[in-house]
Structure 1
Amino acid sequence: MKYLIIVLVILTLGSIAAGFILETEHSQKMIGFGTVGLFLVVFPLFTYHRWKDRNFKDYMLTKENLDKMRDKEKNKF
């Protein structure tokens, strides 16, 4: 998954750069497809890859998590 994301980032950034550098009939489409690919394909894949093994309850402000945070602050001093 990691290598797929890297390849897709390189391809989309390459498409955007080629659209700016090359003066062809389809240069604006290259920039557009690169941008769409980056935001609609690469970013969701990256987000899924980074968050797939996480527990979302650890990041929610529940009573237990607030108590843990308060205990850490008390132990700090």
Structure 2
Amino acid sequence: MKYLILIFTLVSLTSILLGFILDLEYSQKLIGFGVVGLFFVVFPLFSYHRWKDKNAKDYMLTKENLDKMRENQKKHKY
């Protein structure tokens, strides 16, 4: 998965750079496809890869987590 994300990132960035550097009829399309690739392919894949083994409840402000934070503050006296 890590290498797939890297490949898509490099392809998208290359497309954007070639769109700026080369003077072609479809330069703006190259830039557009690169941006679309970054935002609709690379970013969701990267987000999924980083969050797949995490529990979302650990990052929510629930009563239990607030109690843990208060206990931690009392212990360390921030």
Deviation at 1:19, TM superposition (A): 0.2
Q: TM-score, normalised by structure 1?
A: 0.98
Counterparts of 1:8-23 in structure 2, within 5 Å, are: 8-23=8-23
- Paired residue for 1:41? 41
1:15-70 Cα distance to aligned partner (Å, 9 max, x none): 00000000001100000000001000000000000000000110111110000000
- Separation in structure 2 between the aligned mates of residue 60 and residue 35 of structure 1, nearest angstrom: 31
Counterparts of 1:1-77 in structure 2, within 5 Å, are: 1-77=1-77
Aligned length: 77
Structure 2: stretches of 5+ with no match in the other structure: none
Runs of 4+ displaced beyond 4 Å = none
Structure 1: stretches of 5+ with no match in the other structure: none
- Separation in structure 1 between the aligned mates of residue 28 and residue 14 of structure 2, nearest angstrom: 13
- Separation in structure 2 between the aligned mates of residue 73 and residue 2 of structure 1, nearest angstrom: 38
Deviation at 1:73, TM superposition (A): 0.6
